[in-house]
Amino acid sequence: MPYSILAGNHDLLSMSSYDNERNREQEPFAQYFPIERIQKQSTYGGHSPTKFNTYHLIEVDGYHFLVLALDWRISEGSIAWAQSILDQYSDIPTILTTHDLVNVDHNDEIYLTRYGKVLWDTLVTKNNQIFLTINGHHYNVGHAIFKNDAGNDVLVMVVNYQTDYNGGNGMMRLLTFDIAKNMIYAKSFSPYVMSIPPEQRDEQDIERKFDPSNDFSVEINFANRI
CA distances from 63 to 4, 34, 55, 59, 87 (A): 19, 30, 17, 5, 19
The pLDDT tens digits along the chain (226 residues) read 999 999 999 999 898 889 999 999 899 999 999 999 999 999 999 999 999 999 999 998 889 999 999 999 999 999 999 999 999 999 999 999 999 999 999 888 999 999 999 999 999 999 999 999 999 988 888 999 999 999 999 999 999 888 877 777 888 899 999 999 999 999 988 888 888 898 888 777 765 555 667 889 999 888 877 7
> What does DSSP assign to residue 10?
G
In terms of Cα–Cα distance, which of 154, 136, 138 is closest to 146? 154
Q: pTM, whole model, 2 decimals?
A: 0.92
User: DSSP 3-state assignment of 200?
Assistant: helix
